[in-house]
């Protein structure tokens, strides 16, 4: 069966006035937009004033310095390329690195419109006119994530159910029973928790984003839905919209007319396609706050083989956060750092666990789990000890009540 080409190709062709999207014309567009950006930055004397006004090839991009999360916290004004009056929305991050200042990202109306258009391309793979879609991302006011997704769903001729992430399981179940959604949009663990706590009801397909998606979570969701998940990747720095899954389900196609992507090793050296490393982005399509060689802290790789759907855009493999902030006392632990994803991978492999919360203090890890049925506690504890042998681990389980809520409203952490 011939697969339909990723809807991203049609979007890029439309936005860039192309008859076909090839590597050659994508890269020509990237170089042209990058040089336009460098020239504007040189003119205005902002944060990037020391950079050359133009470069001769995309390969020369690697000679420019990186931009870091600290820079976003320290120089928000210097990084803003449009006027304050043109800023439609600002996202502030409580996590501040070492500066004590909050990281801020700005968007114009055009940036947010581009985000909605990418959501339409990604959601268009699984949502059809007449679909009813439950949105379980937060609704934080006009132009918030939930609202932008809702707008994309409405434009696709479908009905958005704006549920957010703070309902109780009993409330989710009641809405699913009454409104009969066929699709879900939200975070991966949240989807698995809802499916295990409430049952599948009429939900058939799901787009997941916003957090890491460990393999046991993905397998659990796909088995309960009897369909493949559509993962999406986006970060605030790229307008919350970066890469979408096509019907081949082999990675996520990157919106390359807005983002030039590189993969680098820990020392910042470029890595070839196929190798795992940190994703570095140059956001040539962002109007308010374009970034040059921003180190995302996300670990992934580019697929090196062509996608069966025929699109020539770069595809990202699974994305994980770079491990930081939780050093393990055990020298024997393979990476010396433990993440919530590592623990999720173990805990959710037990089908009776609906959700769990982690607290790590010195070398004591406390895990609280909400359950439906009897968890094999010995097996779970033994698997945690396998990856973290020097930790003292306690696991407490409680049966789920309808009033319980999801334990992490945002990204899962230790
Ligand atoms: Zn594809």
% residues pLDDT > 70 (the chain): 94
Strand pairing report for 315-316 and 277-282: unpaired
Asked whether 375 and 369 are in contact (CB, 8 A), the reply is: yes
* Token couple for 73: 């916290």
Residue 327, pLDDT above cutoff 80: no
Average pLDDT over residues 11-34: 97
* Token couple for 361: 């203090």
The answer to whether residues 328 and 229 belong to one domain is no
149 CA to centre of ligand 1 in angstroms: 22
Query: What digits encode the pLDDT tens for the residues 292-325?
Result: 999 999 999 999 999 999 999 999 999 987 765 4
135 CA to centre of ligand 1 in angstroms: 24
Asked whether 228 and 247 are in contact (CB, 8 A), the reply is: no
20 CA to centre of ligand 1 in angstroms: 15
Residue 390, pLDDT above cutoff 70: yes
Q: Tell me how far apart the alpha carbons of residues 68 and 75 are, in angstroms, rounded to a whole number.
A: 11
Query: What digits encode the pLDDT tens for the residues 54-111?
Result: 999 999 999 999 999 999 888 877 888 888 888 888 887 654 444 456 778 889 999 9
First to last CA, the chain: 44
Q: What is the pLDDT of residue 157?
A: 98
Out of 53-62, 335-344, 367-376, which region has the weakest mean confidence (pLDDT)? 335-344
308 CA to centre of ligand 1 in angstroms: 6
The answer to whether residues 137 and 214 belong to one domain is yes
The answer to whether residues 232 and 202 belong to one domain is yes
Average pLDDT over residues 207-214: 90
Half-sphere exposure at residue 353, Cβ-oriented, CA atoms within 13 angstroms: 27
Q: What is the pLDDT of residue 168?
A: 97
Q: Tell me how far apart the alpha carbons of residues 157 and 6 are, in angstroms, rounded to a whole number.
A: 19
The answer to whether residues 7 and 124 belong to one domain is yes
The answer to whether residues 130 and 217 belong to one domain is yes
Q: Tell me how far apart the alpha carbons of residues 59 and 282 are, in angstroms, rounded to a whole number.
A: 13
Q: What is the pLDDT of residue 142?
A: 80
| Domain encompassing residue 394 | 323-414
Three-state secondary-structure class, residue 258: coil
306 CA to centre of ligand 1 in angstroms: 8
114 CA to centre of ligand 1 in angstroms: 20
Q: What is the pLDDT of residue 94?
A: 58
Asked whether 21 and 310 are in contact (CB, 8 A), the reply is: no
The answer to whether residues 181 and 295 belong to one domain is yes
Residue among 215, 223, 280 nearest 68 (CA): 280
Out of 12-16, 234-238, 291-295, 310-314, which region has the weakest mean confidence (pLDDT)? 234-238
The answer to whether residues 315 and 350 belong to one domain is no
Provide the b/e sequence for 331-344 (b: ≥16 CB within 10 Å). eebeeeebbbbbbb
Average pLDDT over residues 329-348: 71
235 CA to centre of ligand 1 in angstroms: 21
Q: What is the pLDDT of residue 156?
A: 98
Residue 331, pLDDT above cutoff 50: no
The answer to whether residues 13 and 57 belong to one domain is yes
143 CA to centre of ligand 1 in angstroms: 29
Number of domains in the chain: 2
Average pLDDT over residues 29-33: 98
Residue 137, pLDDT above cutoff 50: yes
Asked whether 368 and 356 are in contact (CB, 8 A), the reply is: yes
263 CA to centre of ligand 1 in angstroms: 20
Average pLDDT over residues 384-401: 94
The more confident residue out of 339 and 328 is 339
Residue among 189, 223, 222 nearest 206 (CA): 222
336 CA to centre of ligand 1 in angstroms: 36
9 CA to centre of ligand 1 in angstroms: 10
Residue 329, pLDDT above cutoff 70: no
Half-sphere exposure at residue 104, Cβ-oriented, CA atoms within 13 angstroms: 15
Domain boundary among 265, 292, 322: 322
Per-chain mean pLDDT for the chain: 91
Average pLDDT over residues 180-192: 97
Phi, psi for residue 191 in degrees, rounded to 5: -60, -50
Query: What digits encode the pLDDT tens for the residues 254-266?
Result: 999 999 999 999 9
Q: What is the pLDDT of residue 101?
A: 67
The answer to whether residues 230 and 376 belong to one domain is no
307 CA to centre of ligand 1 in angstroms: 5
303 CA to centre of ligand 1 in angstroms: 11
* Strands (DSSP E) found in 265-326: 277-282, 294-300, 315-316, 320-321
Residue 291, pLDDT above cutoff 70: yes
309 CA to centre of ligand 1 in angstroms: 4
Phi, psi for residue 87 in degrees, rounded to 5: -75, 125
Average pLDDT over residues 236-256: 95
Domain boundary among 307, 322, 337: 322
Domain CATH number, residue 331: 3.30.300
110 CA to centre of ligand 1 in angstroms: 26
111 CA to centre of ligand 1 in angstroms: 24
Q: How confident is the model at residue 188 (pLDDT cuts 50, 70, 90)?
A: very high
Residues 6+ apart with CB under 8 A from 375: 350, 352, 353, 369, 395, 397
Q: What secondary structure does DSSP assign to 136-177, as a single string?
A: -S---STTSHHHHHHHHHHHTT-EEEE--S--BHHHHHHHHH
* Token couple for 407: 């334990």
Say what the pTM is.
0.92
73 CA to centre of ligand 1 in angstroms: 36
Q: What is the pLDDT of residue 82?
A: 81
* Token couple for 190: 């949240």
The answer to whether residues 246 and 380 belong to one domain is no
19 CA to centre of ligand 1 in angstroms: 18
Domain CATH number, residue 214: 3.40.50.12780
Residue 214, pLDDT above cutoff 60: yes
Q: What is the pLDDT of residue 88?
A: 83
Distance, C-alpha 222 to centroid of its chain: 18
The answer to whether residues 293 and 329 belong to one domain is no
Residue 225, pLDDT above cutoff 80: yes
The answer to whether residues 238 and 260 belong to one domain is yes
Three-state secondary-structure class, residue 123: helix
């Amino acid at each position: 069966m011939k697969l339909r080409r990723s809807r991203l190709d049609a979007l890029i062709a439309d936005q860039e006035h192309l008859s076909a999207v090839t590597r050659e014309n994508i890269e020509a567009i990237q170089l042209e937009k990058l040089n336009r950006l460098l020239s504007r930055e040189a003119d205005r004397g902002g944060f990037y004033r020391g950079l050359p006004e133009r470069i001769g090839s995309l390969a020369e991009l690697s000679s420019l310095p990186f931009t870091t999360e600290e820079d976003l916290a320290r120089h928000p004004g210097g990084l803003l390329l449009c006027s304050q009056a043109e800023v439609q929305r600002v996202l502030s991050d409580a996590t501040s690195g070492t500066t004590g200042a909050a990281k801020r990202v700005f968007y114009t109306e055009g940036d947010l419109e581009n985000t909605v258009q990418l959501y339409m391309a990604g959601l268009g793979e699984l949502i059809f006119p007449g679909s009813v879609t439950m949105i379980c991302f937060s609704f934080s006011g006009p132009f918030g994530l939930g609202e932008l997704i809702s707008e994309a769903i409405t434009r696709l001729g479908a009905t958005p159910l704006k549920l957010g992430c703070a309902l109780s399981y009993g409330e989710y179940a009641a809405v699913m029973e009454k409104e009969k959604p066929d699709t879900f949009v939200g975070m991966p663990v949240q989807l698995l928790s809802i499916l295990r706590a409430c049952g599948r009801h009429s939900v058939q397909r799901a787009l997941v984003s916003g957090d890491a998606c460990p393999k046991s979570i993905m397998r659990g969701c796909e088995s309960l839905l009897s369909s493949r998940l559509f993962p999406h990747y986006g970060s605030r720095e790229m307008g919350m919209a970066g890469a979408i899954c096509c019907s081949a389900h082999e990675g996520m196609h990157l919106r390359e007319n807005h983002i030039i992507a590189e993969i680098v090793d820990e020392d910042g050296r470029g890595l070839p396609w196929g190798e795992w490393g940190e994703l570095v982005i140059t956001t040539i399509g962002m109007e308010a706050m374009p970034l040059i060689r921003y180190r995302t802290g996300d670990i992934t790789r580019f697929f090196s083989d062509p996608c069966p759907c025929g699109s020539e855009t770069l595809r990202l493999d699974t994305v994980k956060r770079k491990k930081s902030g939780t050093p393990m006392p055990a020298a024997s632990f393979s990476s010396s750092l433990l993440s919530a994803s590592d623990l999720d991978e173990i805990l959710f492999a037990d089908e009776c666990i609906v959700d769990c919360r982690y607290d790590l203090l010195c070398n004591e890890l406390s895990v609280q789990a909400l359950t439906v049925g009897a968890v094999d506690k010995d097996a779970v504890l033994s698997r945690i000890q396998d990856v973290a042998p020097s930790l003292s681990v306690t696991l407490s389980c409680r049966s789920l009540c309808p009033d319980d809520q999801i334990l992490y409203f945002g990204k899962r952490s230790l």
